[in-house]
Protein backbone atom coordinates (compact mmCIF):
# COMPACT_ATOMS: atom_id res chain seq x y z
CA UNK A 1 0.00 0.00 0.00
CA UNK A 2 1.28 3.46 -0.96
CA UNK A 3 -0.09 6.52 0.85
CA UNK A 4 0.58 9.35 -1.59
CA UNK A 5 1.57 12.48 0.31
CA UNK A 6 1.36 10.43 3.55
CA UNK A 7 -2.25 11.63 3.92
CA UNK A 8 -3.78 10.31 7.14
CA UNK A 9 -0.55 8.68 8.34
CA UNK A 10 0.47 9.47 11.93
CA UNK A 11 4.25 9.61 12.22
CA UNK A 12 4.81 11.29 15.60
CA UNK A 13 3.16 11.78 18.97
CA UNK A 14 2.80 15.43 19.93
CA UNK A 15 1.33 17.50 22.76
CA UNK A 16 1.60 20.80 20.87
CA UNK A 17 -1.64 20.98 18.89
CA UNK A 18 -4.62 18.94 17.73
CA UNK A 19 -6.93 19.42 14.75
CA UNK A 20 -10.45 17.95 14.70
CA UNK A 21 -11.48 18.42 11.09
CA UNK A 22 -14.94 16.95 11.53
CA UNK A 23 -15.89 19.22 14.43
CA UNK A 24 -13.91 22.24 13.25
CA UNK A 25 -11.67 22.57 16.29
CA UNK A 26 -8.03 23.60 16.63
CA UNK A 27 -6.42 22.99 20.02
CA UNK A 28 -3.18 24.55 21.25
CA UNK A 29 -1.77 22.62 24.24
CA UNK A 30 -5.31 21.77 25.39
CA UNK A 31 -6.76 25.26 24.83
CA UNK A 32 -9.20 26.30 22.10
CA UNK A 33 -7.10 28.28 19.59
CA UNK A 34 -10.10 30.30 18.45
CA UNK A 35 -10.69 31.56 22.00
CA UNK A 36 -6.98 32.20 22.59
CA UNK A 37 -6.80 34.31 19.43
CA UNK A 38 -9.65 36.53 20.58
CA UNK A 39 -8.55 36.95 24.22
CA UNK A 40 -4.75 36.57 24.45
CA UNK A 41 -1.62 38.31 23.23
CA UNK A 42 0.83 36.88 20.72
CA UNK A 43 3.44 36.52 23.46
CA UNK A 44 1.10 34.63 25.79
CA UNK A 45 0.18 32.09 23.11
CA UNK A 46 3.77 31.75 21.89
CA UNK A 47 4.86 30.99 25.45
CA UNK A 48 2.08 28.40 25.72
CA UNK A 49 3.10 26.64 22.52
CA UNK A 50 6.79 26.65 23.39
CA UNK A 51 6.54 25.78 27.10
CA UNK A 52 3.27 23.88 27.36
CA UNK A 53 1.57 26.17 29.90
CA UNK A 54 0.18 29.70 29.90
CA UNK A 55 2.69 32.05 31.53
CA UNK A 56 2.52 33.53 34.98
CA UNK A 57 3.09 37.30 35.09
CA UNK A 58 6.82 37.06 35.91
CA UNK A 59 7.46 34.39 33.28
CA UNK A 60 5.66 36.47 30.67
CA UNK A 61 7.72 39.55 31.57
CA UNK A 62 10.96 37.58 31.17
CA UNK A 63 9.76 36.07 27.89
CA UNK A 64 8.83 39.50 26.51
CA UNK A 65 12.21 40.93 27.51
CA UNK A 66 14.00 38.02 25.86
CA UNK A 67 12.06 38.48 22.61
CA UNK A 68 12.74 42.23 22.63
CA UNK A 69 16.46 41.70 23.21
CA UNK A 70 16.79 39.69 19.97
CA UNK A 71 14.77 41.97 17.67
CA UNK A 72 17.71 44.09 16.51
CA UNK A 73 19.49 42.30 13.67
CA UNK A 74 23.24 41.74 13.83
CA UNK A 75 25.24 43.91 11.44
CA UNK A 76 26.15 40.85 9.39
CA UNK A 77 22.44 40.16 8.75
CA UNK A 78 21.78 43.78 7.79
CA UNK A 79 24.70 43.74 5.35
CA UNK A 80 23.48 40.46 3.89
CA UNK A 81 19.96 41.79 3.31
CA UNK A 82 21.34 44.86 1.54
CA UNK A 83 23.57 42.68 -0.66
CA UNK A 84 20.86 40.33 -1.92
CA UNK A 85 19.54 40.80 -5.48
CA UNK A 86 16.54 43.10 -5.88
CA UNK A 87 14.64 40.41 -7.80
CA UNK A 88 14.91 37.93 -4.91
CA UNK A 89 11.47 37.41 -3.35
CA UNK A 90 10.86 38.08 0.35
CA UNK A 91 10.54 34.41 1.32
CA UNK A 92 13.88 33.63 -0.31
CA UNK A 93 15.41 36.55 1.57
CA UNK A 94 13.96 35.36 4.89
CA UNK A 95 15.22 31.83 4.25
CA UNK A 96 18.70 33.04 3.30
CA UNK A 97 19.13 35.41 6.25
CA UNK A 98 17.83 32.87 8.77
CA UNK A 99 20.32 30.39 7.30
CA UNK A 100 23.12 32.87 7.99
CA UNK A 101 22.32 32.59 11.70
CA UNK A 102 23.61 29.02 11.70
CA UNK A 103 26.95 29.60 13.39
CA UNK A 104 28.71 26.82 15.27
CA UNK A 105 26.80 27.54 18.48
CA UNK A 106 23.70 26.04 16.86
CA UNK A 107 24.02 22.31 17.26
CA UNK A 108 21.86 19.34 18.15
CA UNK A 109 20.11 19.60 20.67
CA UNK A 110 18.30 22.89 20.07
CA UNK A 111 17.60 25.18 23.01
CA UNK A 112 14.73 27.46 23.98
CA UNK A 113 16.97 30.52 23.73
CA UNK A 114 17.88 29.60 20.14
CA UNK A 115 14.18 29.31 19.36
CA UNK A 116 13.36 32.71 20.86
CA UNK A 117 16.19 34.32 18.90
CA UNK A 118 14.80 33.06 15.57
CA UNK A 119 11.21 33.95 16.47
CA UNK A 120 12.26 37.50 17.39
CA UNK A 121 14.45 37.99 14.32
CA UNK A 122 12.00 36.87 11.63
CA UNK A 123 9.74 39.97 11.64
CA UNK A 124 12.79 42.25 11.72
CA UNK A 125 14.24 40.54 8.63
CA UNK A 126 10.94 40.86 6.76
CA UNK A 127 10.49 44.52 7.69
CA UNK A 128 14.11 45.47 6.96
CA UNK A 129 13.92 43.96 3.48
CA UNK A 130 10.45 45.36 2.73
CA UNK A 131 11.45 48.93 3.51
CA UNK A 132 14.54 48.64 1.32
CA UNK A 133 12.41 47.20 -1.51
CA UNK A 134 10.03 50.15 -1.15
CA UNK A 135 12.93 52.62 -1.35
CA UNK A 136 12.87 53.55 2.34
CA UNK A 137 15.49 53.16 5.01
CA UNK A 138 14.80 50.48 7.63
CA UNK A 139 13.76 51.51 11.13
CA UNK A 140 15.13 49.96 14.27
CA UNK A 141 12.84 48.05 16.67
CA UNK A 142 11.28 49.60 19.74
CA UNK A 143 11.73 47.46 22.83
CA UNK A 144 8.68 48.93 24.58
CA UNK A 145 6.31 47.65 21.88
CA UNK A 146 4.78 44.20 21.85
CA UNK A 147 5.75 41.61 19.22
CA UNK A 148 2.96 42.42 16.75
CA UNK A 149 3.02 46.19 17.33
CA UNK A 150 6.76 46.27 16.73
CA UNK A 151 6.43 44.28 13.49
CA UNK A 152 3.86 46.79 12.20
CA UNK A 153 6.04 49.70 13.35
CA UNK A 154 9.16 48.36 11.63
CA UNK A 155 7.20 47.91 8.40
CA UNK A 156 5.28 51.18 8.40
CA UNK A 157 7.41 53.52 10.52
CA UNK A 158 4.38 54.26 12.70
CA UNK A 159 2.50 52.48 15.45
CA UNK A 160 -0.69 50.61 14.55
CA UNK A 161 -4.11 51.66 15.76
CA UNK A 162 -5.64 49.37 18.37
CA UNK A 163 -7.93 47.84 15.72
CA UNK A 164 -4.99 47.22 13.36
CA UNK A 165 -2.94 45.67 16.15
CA UNK A 166 -5.71 43.30 17.27
CA UNK A 167 -6.53 42.26 13.71
CA UNK A 168 -2.90 41.45 12.92
CA UNK A 169 -2.37 39.80 16.32
CA UNK A 170 -5.44 37.58 15.85
CA UNK A 171 -4.17 36.45 12.47
CA UNK A 172 -0.64 35.76 13.70
CA UNK A 173 -1.90 33.76 16.70
CA UNK A 174 -4.06 31.63 14.40
CA UNK A 175 -1.14 31.13 11.98
CA UNK A 176 1.22 30.14 14.80
CA UNK A 177 0.68 26.38 14.75
CA UNK A 178 -1.34 23.84 12.77
CA UNK A 179 -0.27 20.27 13.45
CA UNK A 180 1.78 18.12 11.11
CA UNK A 181 1.55 20.29 8.00
CA UNK A 182 4.10 20.14 5.19
CA UNK A 183 6.54 22.74 6.59
CA UNK A 184 6.37 21.37 10.14
CA UNK A 185 7.01 17.87 8.83
CA UNK A 186 9.99 19.24 6.89
CA UNK A 187 11.41 20.84 10.05
CA UNK A 188 11.02 17.65 12.08
CA UNK A 189 12.58 15.50 9.35
CA UNK A 190 15.60 17.82 9.21
CA UNK A 191 16.24 17.88 12.95
CA UNK A 192 15.66 14.11 13.15
CA UNK A 193 19.06 13.72 11.48
CA UNK A 194 20.50 15.53 14.53
CA UNK A 195 20.93 18.68 12.50
CA UNK A 196 20.47 22.09 14.14
CA UNK A 197 17.48 24.38 14.67
CA UNK A 198 18.53 26.88 11.97
CA UNK A 199 18.73 24.10 9.38
CA UNK A 200 15.33 22.77 10.43
CA UNK A 201 13.67 26.21 10.20
CA UNK A 202 15.39 26.95 6.88
CA UNK A 203 13.95 23.70 5.56
CA UNK A 204 10.50 24.70 6.80
CA UNK A 205 10.77 28.10 5.14
CA UNK A 206 11.63 26.47 1.83
CA UNK A 207 8.52 24.32 2.17
CA UNK A 208 6.29 27.24 3.17
CA UNK A 209 7.44 29.13 0.07
CA UNK A 210 5.49 26.74 -2.17
CA UNK A 211 2.15 28.12 -3.40
CA UNK A 212 0.25 25.01 -2.27
CA UNK A 213 1.22 25.77 1.34
CA UNK A 214 1.91 29.43 2.05
CA UNK A 215 0.64 31.34 -0.97
CA UNK A 216 -3.14 31.03 -0.86
CA UNK A 217 -4.08 34.47 0.61
CA UNK A 218 -2.59 36.20 -2.44
CA UNK A 219 -4.99 34.29 -4.69
CA UNK A 220 -7.93 35.36 -2.50
CA UNK A 221 -6.86 38.99 -2.82
CA UNK A 222 -6.78 38.65 -6.60
CA UNK A 223 -10.31 37.20 -6.56
CA UNK A 224 -11.66 40.03 -4.38
CA UNK A 225 -9.96 42.62 -6.58
CA UNK A 226 -11.52 41.01 -9.67
CA UNK A 227 -15.00 41.17 -8.09
CA UNK A 228 -14.48 44.81 -6.99
CA UNK A 229 -18.13 45.55 -6.12
CA UNK A 230 -20.76 43.62 -4.17
CA UNK A 231 -23.16 43.56 -7.13
CA UNK A 232 -20.56 41.69 -9.21
CA UNK A 233 -20.11 38.87 -6.68
CA UNK A 234 -22.82 36.41 -7.67
CA UNK A 235 -22.20 36.55 -11.42
CA UNK A 236 -18.42 36.27 -10.94
CA UNK A 237 -18.70 33.31 -8.57
CA UNK A 238 -21.29 31.54 -10.73
CA UNK A 239 -19.07 31.90 -13.79
CA UNK A 240 -16.14 30.35 -11.89
CA UNK A 241 -18.27 27.43 -10.71
CA UNK A 242 -19.84 26.88 -14.14
CA UNK A 243 -16.32 26.52 -15.56
CA UNK A 244 -15.40 24.04 -12.82
CA UNK A 245 -12.84 26.42 -11.34
CA UNK A 246 -11.99 26.57 -7.66
CA UNK A 247 -13.12 29.45 -5.48
CA UNK A 248 -10.00 30.57 -3.64
CA UNK A 249 -10.36 30.74 0.14
CA UNK A 250 -13.05 28.06 0.34
CA UNK A 251 -12.56 24.45 1.45
CA UNK A 252 -9.76 22.81 3.38
CA UNK A 253 -8.03 19.42 3.25
CA UNK A 254 -8.58 18.85 6.96
CA UNK A 255 -11.66 20.82 8.02
CA UNK A 256 -15.00 19.37 6.88
CA UNK A 257 -16.94 22.18 8.54
CA UNK A 258 -16.15 25.81 9.36
CA UNK A 259 -12.42 26.48 9.79
CA UNK A 260 -12.17 27.74 13.40
CA UNK A 261 -9.40 30.13 12.40
CA UNK A 262 -11.64 31.71 9.78
CA UNK A 263 -14.41 32.08 12.38
CA UNK A 264 -12.12 33.99 14.74
CA UNK A 265 -10.78 36.19 11.95
CA UNK A 266 -14.33 36.90 10.81
CA UNK A 267 -15.07 38.26 14.30
CA UNK A 268 -12.14 40.66 13.98
CA UNK A 269 -13.12 41.52 10.42
CA UNK A 270 -16.63 42.44 11.54
CA UNK A 271 -15.18 44.65 14.30
CA UNK A 272 -13.31 46.76 11.75
CA UNK A 273 -15.87 46.42 8.93
CA UNK A 274 -17.62 49.76 9.48
CA UNK A 275 -16.51 51.83 6.52
CA UNK A 276 -13.78 49.40 5.42
CA UNK A 277 -14.63 48.57 1.84
CA UNK A 278 -12.40 45.49 1.60
CA UNK A 279 -13.84 43.86 4.71
CA UNK A 280 -17.42 44.66 3.69
CA UNK A 281 -16.80 43.10 0.30
CA UNK A 282 -15.24 39.97 1.82
CA UNK A 283 -18.20 39.48 4.17
CA UNK A 284 -20.60 39.80 1.23
CA UNK A 285 -18.58 37.40 -0.95
CA UNK A 286 -18.60 34.78 1.81
CA UNK A 287 -22.36 35.06 2.28
CA UNK A 288 -22.85 34.77 -1.49
CA UNK A 289 -20.38 31.96 -2.13
CA UNK A 290 -21.42 29.39 0.51
CA UNK A 291 -24.99 28.88 -0.85
CA UNK A 292 -23.58 28.74 -4.39
CA UNK A 293 -21.04 26.09 -3.38
CA UNK A 294 -23.83 24.00 -1.88
CA UNK A 295 -25.82 24.44 -5.10
CA UNK A 296 -22.97 23.46 -7.43
CA UNK A 297 -21.16 21.01 -5.14
CA UNK A 298 -23.88 19.54 -2.89
CA UNK A 299 -22.67 17.65 0.16
CA UNK A 300 -19.05 18.81 -0.17
CA UNK A 301 -19.28 21.06 2.93
CA UNK A 302 -17.11 23.84 1.53
CA UNK A 303 -16.74 26.84 3.83
CA UNK A 304 -14.35 29.76 4.13
CA UNK A 305 -10.87 28.83 5.31
CA UNK A 306 -8.31 30.92 7.15
CA UNK A 307 -6.76 32.24 3.93
CA UNK A 308 -10.02 33.96 2.93
CA UNK A 309 -10.20 36.23 5.95
CA UNK A 310 -6.42 36.48 6.24
CA UNK A 311 -6.46 38.16 2.83
CA UNK A 312 -9.28 40.51 3.83
CA UNK A 313 -7.71 41.46 7.16
CA UNK A 314 -4.22 41.93 5.72
CA UNK A 315 -5.59 44.16 2.98
CA UNK A 316 -7.60 46.17 5.51
CA UNK A 317 -4.45 46.94 7.54
CA UNK A 318 -2.60 47.89 4.33
CA UNK A 319 -0.26 44.91 4.07
CA UNK A 320 0.33 44.22 0.40
CA UNK A 321 0.26 40.71 -1.04
CA UNK A 322 4.04 40.27 -0.93
CA UNK A 323 3.84 40.26 2.89
CA UNK A 324 1.25 37.48 3.24
CA UNK A 325 3.47 34.42 3.21
CA UNK A 326 6.38 36.06 5.09
CA UNK A 327 3.97 37.19 7.85
CA UNK A 328 2.46 33.70 7.97
CA UNK A 329 6.01 32.35 8.34
CA UNK A 330 6.95 34.82 11.08
CA UNK A 331 3.99 33.54 13.10
CA UNK A 332 4.56 29.87 12.25
CA UNK A 333 8.17 30.17 13.41
CA UNK A 334 6.76 29.55 16.91
CA UNK A 335 5.17 26.26 15.90
CA UNK A 336 8.21 25.11 13.93
CA UNK A 337 10.52 25.76 16.87
CA UNK A 338 8.17 23.99 19.29
CA UNK A 339 8.06 20.92 17.05
CA UNK A 340 11.84 20.89 16.58
CA UNK A 341 12.32 21.05 20.36
CA UNK A 342 9.78 18.26 20.85
CA UNK A 343 11.36 16.09 18.15
CA UNK A 344 14.80 16.44 19.70
CA UNK A 345 13.57 15.24 23.08
CA UNK A 346 12.61 11.79 21.78
CA UNK A 347 14.30 11.55 18.43
CA UNK A 348 14.05 8.88 15.77
CA UNK A 349 15.32 9.64 12.28
CA UNK A 350 12.62 9.70 9.60
CA UNK A 351 13.32 7.02 7.01
CA UNK A 352 10.16 6.17 5.03
CA UNK A 353 10.29 3.63 2.23
CA UNK A 354 9.31 4.02 -1.41
CA UNK A 355 7.59 1.55 -3.70
CA UNK A 356 9.74 0.97 -6.77
CA UNK A 357 7.73 0.99 -10.03
CA UNK A 358 10.61 0.99 -12.53
CA UNK A 359 11.92 -1.82 -14.69
CA UNK A 360 13.93 -4.77 -13.35
CA UNK A 361 16.87 -6.68 -14.83
CA UNK A 362 17.31 -4.56 -17.94
CA UNK A 363 20.12 -6.22 -19.96
CA UNK A 364 23.21 -4.19 -20.75
CA UNK A 365 23.70 -3.77 -24.50
CA UNK A 366 27.10 -4.15 -26.08
- Cα separation, 287 vs 292, in Å, equals 9
- Catalytic-role residue among 252, 286, 339, 342: 252
- Give the SS3 label for residue 339: helix
- Cα separation, 183 vs 205, in Å, equals 7
Burial string for 274-290 (b: 16+ CB within 10 Å, else e) reads eebebbbbbbbbbebbb
Ramachandran assignment for 24, one of left (phi > 0), alpha (psi -120 to 50 degrees), beta (any other): left
Is 75 labeled as catalytic in the residue annotation?
no
Which value, in Å, is the radius of gyration of the alpha carbons in the chain?
21
Is 307 labeled as catalytic in the residue annotation?
yes
The conformation of residue 6, written as its DSSP 8-state character, comes to G
**Count of C-beta atoms within a 10 Å radius of residue 294:** 14
Q: Are strands 31-32 and 25-28 parallel, antiparallel or unpaired?
A: antiparallel
Q: Are 285 and 237 in contact (CB under 8 A)?
A: yes
The conformation of residue 56, written as its DSSP 8-state character, comes to P
In the chain, helix, strand, coil percent, each to 5?
60, 5, 40
For residue 319, give Cα distances in angstroms to 160, 217, 312, 313, 359.
Answer: 12, 12, 10, 9, 52
DSSP 164-201: HHHHHHHHHHHTS--SS-HHHHHHHHHHHTT--HHHHH
- Catalytic-role residue among 34, 43, 114, 307: 307
For residue 134, give Cα distances in angstroms to 96, 107, 199, 234, 242.
Answer: 20, 36, 29, 36, 40
Cis peptide before 204 (omega within 30 of 0): no
Q: Is 84 exposed, middle or buried (0-12, 13-18, 19+ CB in 10 A)?
A: middle
Which residues form the catalytic set? 252, 307
Amino acid sequence: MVYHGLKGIACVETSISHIDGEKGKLIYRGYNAEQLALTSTFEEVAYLILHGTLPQEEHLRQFNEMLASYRALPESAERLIRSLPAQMDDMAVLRTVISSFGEKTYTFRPTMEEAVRLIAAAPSIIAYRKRLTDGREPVQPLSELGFVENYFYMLKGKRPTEAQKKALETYMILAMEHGMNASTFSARVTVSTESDLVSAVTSALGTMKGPLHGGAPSAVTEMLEDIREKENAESYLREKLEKGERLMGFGHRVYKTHDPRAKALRVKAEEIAGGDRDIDLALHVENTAIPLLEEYKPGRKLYTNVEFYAAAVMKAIDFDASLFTPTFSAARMVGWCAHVLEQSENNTIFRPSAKYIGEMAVPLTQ
